[in-house]
Amino acid sequence: MLESYHKKKINRWLYSKWTMALLVVLIAFVAEATWDVYQKENISAANLLRIEKERDRLTERKEELEKEVASLHTERGIEKEIRAKFGVVKAGEHVVVIVGDEHTTESNKKEEPKKSFWDTIVALFK
């Protein structure tokens, strides 16, 4: 009978409103901490993806630069770079410069004479 009494006392305490409220509060704290960890994991995954893309881009850039450096170790590569940077030619070569519409100057364009205020009003009634 004493055992039964202790079991009832423990069960009464275990299933009381205060114990249940305490458990709900503890579960809420644990859930909040879990949610924070989940959000940090998502941010970390996004950062990892961004960094991997950046690494791939930098690897490609490194390979391009290594090719350019390797070409500068040859006579032809040096000559090509000098021609590109300084616009020089060898003796006996000629340079042809093609000028398109993009390079027209302001003086080539026809300018219309400026109209006075009165000319604008008269033009409305014509």
Judge whether 116 lies within some domain.
no
Q: How confident is the model at residue 9, as a pLDDT? A: 81
pLDDT band at 102 (very low <50, low <70, confident <90, very high): low
d(CA 113, CA 90): 49
User: Whole-structure pTM over 0.85, yes or no?
Assistant: no
Residue 29 lies in a domain: yes
Residue 106 backbone phi and psi in degrees, to 5: -65, -30
How many domains is the chain partitioned into structurally?
1
pLDDT number for residue 60: 97
Res. 104: pLDDT tops 80: no
**Mean pLDDT value of segment 4-11:** 80
Give pLDDT tens digits for 58-101. Answer: 999 999 999 999 999 999 988 888 888 887 888 888 877 787 77
95 contacts 89 by C-beta, under 8 angstroms: yes
Q: Kindly state the tokens that stand for 85.
A: 């940077």
Position 117 in a domain? no
Give CA–CA dist 79/94, Å, rounded.
16
Residue 103 has pLDDT above 60, yes or no: no
Residue 61 token pair: 């850039």
* Full residue range of the structural domain in which residue 89 is found: 2-104
Q: How far apart are CA 65 and CA 82, in angstroms?
A: 17
Instruction: Please provide residue 113's backbone torsions phi and psi, each rounded to the nearest 5 degrees.
Output: -65, 145
Task: Render pLDDT for 9-63 as a digit per residue (tens, 0 to 9).
Answer: 888 888 889 999 999 999 999 999 999 999 999 999 999 999 999 999 999 999 9
The CA distance from 56 to 62, in Å, is: 10
Q: Does position 126 have pLDDT exceeding 80, yes or no? A: no
The answer to whether residue 122 is domain-embedded is: no
Return the C-alpha torsion angle 18, 20, 22, 27, nearest 10.
-170
Q: Is the pLDDT of residue 108 over 60?
A: no
